[in-house]
Amino acid sequence: MNSSSKPVDYIDRTREQYSALGYEPYQWAERPETPPWTPLTKPLADSKILLLGSGGAYKKGQVAFHWKDDTGLRLIPSHQPATDVRVTHFAYDLEPARSDPNIVFPLDRLNELVEEGFIKSLTPQSIAFMGGIYSIRRTEEELIPALINEIEAMKTEIDLVLLVPV
């Protein structure tokens, strides 16, 4: 970045996008304390990773996410090629992600890292959801418990969760 460039003010940009869509001003979910830093306990080459993406990914044949406040989840087989992944979202330009879903849900890249031995493995299923949920209440009461329940139901050891936000 050169000295005349300024970083994008994400908060102002989000407020502008929501306003342009006719929504009330975006209410940021704020927590009084930052979560504690948790260092890795083993090397990535020995770790099983869960991919968790908020870019609105879903596999071919599944129902797409709705445009507003969809708190549903989509399970996507981790071995599935990204060419079978579809995306829908209201908060980013979909064209690049539709051309290459790895941009928002990097299944191919993660599987390549498994093949190279950089990471041990992926969980059998990856989890996708719609980020940018307008309702903090629905995020806390619906999405987060659903994510926790799905992860607990996996009945597999997970060493690390890779969150790919949008």
Secondary structure element (H or E) that encloses residue 161, with its range: strand 160-164
Kindly state whether residue 16 falls inside one of the protein's structural domains.
no
* Residue 90 phi, psi (nearest 5): -100, -10
Kindly state whether residue 51 falls inside one of the protein's structural domains.
yes
pLDDT of residue 29: 67
CA–CA gap between residue 138 and residue 153 (Å, rounded): 21
Judged against a pLDDT cut of 80, whether residue 149 lies above it is answered with yes
Kindly state whether residue 121 falls inside one of the protein's structural domains.
yes
* Averaged confidence pLDDT in the chain: 88
CA–CA gap between residue 90 and residue 117 (Å, rounded): 36
Residue 105 sits in which domain range? 44-164
Kindly state whether residue 99 falls inside one of the protein's structural domains.
yes
What band does 26 get if pLDDT is binned at 50, 70 and 90? low
pLDDT digits (tens, 9 = 90+) for 45-93: 999 999 999 999 999 999 999 877 899 999 999 999 999 999 998 878 8
Give this prediction's pTM: 0.81
C-alpha pair distances (Å), 67 with each of 75, 125, 128, 133, 141: 19, 24, 15, 9, 19
If one counts the domains in the chain, the total is 1
- Under 8 Å CB-to-CB from 7, ≥6 apart: which residues? 1
